[in-house]
Amino acid sequence: MKNLLEHMGIEPDRLHFSWISSAESTKFVSVVREITAKVKALGPNERFVKKEAKVA
């Protein structure tokens, strides 16, 4: 999976799989906060940011 993500231009840290039971609300909150912090630290993925068109 990591190789495929890198081939597509996506940093592997932007994707996370975790098994969380519906009874584990505190774990869910913790995982969401952790992943959100990682993605914010990575910043925007430059490959998918639209660039302004250059007008001649």
DSSP states of the chain:
-HHHHHHHT--GGG-------TT-HHHHHHHHHHHHHHHHHH---GGGSPPPPPP-
- Domain of 31? 17-43
Whether 10 is covered by a domain: the verdict is no
Q: What is the pLDDT of residues 1-50, one digit of tens each?
A: 888 888 888 888 888 899 999 999 999 999 999 999 998 998 888 777 77
Specify if 4 maps to a domain. Answer: no
pLDDT score, position 28:
95
Note the pLDDT of residue 9.
83
Q: How far apart are CA 30 and CA 37, in angstroms?
A: 11
Residue 55's pLDDT band, with cuts at 50, 70 and 90, is confident
Report yes or no on 3 lying in a domain.
no
**Within-domain flag for 51:** no
Q: Is residue 27 part of a domain?
A: yes
Residue 35 lies in a domain: yes
The tally of domains found in the chain comes to 1
State the pTM of this model: 0.66
